[in-house]
A = this chain, B = another copy of it.
Amino acid sequence: MEFFTFINIGGTIAFAASGTLAGIRKKLDVFGLAVIAFVTSVGGGTIRDILIGHLPVRWILDSSIILLIVTVTLITILFKNRIETLDKTLTFFDSLGLGFFTLRGIQEGIAIHLDMPSCLILGTITACFGGVIRDILLNEIPTLFRKEIYATACILGGIVFFLLRKASISPEIVDVVTILTIFGIRIIAVKMNISLPKIK
Contact = CB atoms under 8 A, between A and B. Distances in A.
Interface string A123-150: 0000000001000111111101111000
Contacts of A89: none
A115 B50 contact: no
A103 interface: no
Contacts of A56: 51-53, 112, 114
Nearest to A48: B60
A6 interface: no
A2 interface: no
Q: Secondary structure at chain A's binding surface: helix, strand, loop or mixed?
A: helix
B117 A63 contact: yes
* Interface hub of A147, A152, A199 (most chain B Cβ within 10 A): A199
Interface in A52-66: 52-53, 55-57, 60-61, 63, 66
A122 interface: yes
Interface in A71-98: 77, 80
Interface of A: 23-24, 26-33, 35-36, 46, 50-53, 55-57, 60-61, 63, 66-67, 77, 80, 112, 114-118, 121-122, 132, 136-142, 144-147, 151-152, 195-199
Given A33-B199, A60-B121, A66-B117, 7 more contacts: A29-B198, A50-B50, A51-B55, A51-B60, A136-B137, A139-B140, A139-B141
27 contacts: A26-B141, A28-B146, A28-B198, A29-B195, A30-B197, A30-B199, A31-B151, A32-B142, A32-B144, A33-B145, A35-B144, A35-B145, A46-B51, A51-B57, A53-B53, A56-B112, A56-B114, A60-B118, A63-B117, A66-B118, A66-B121, A77-B199, A80-B199, A136-B136, A137-B142, A137-B145, A138-B141
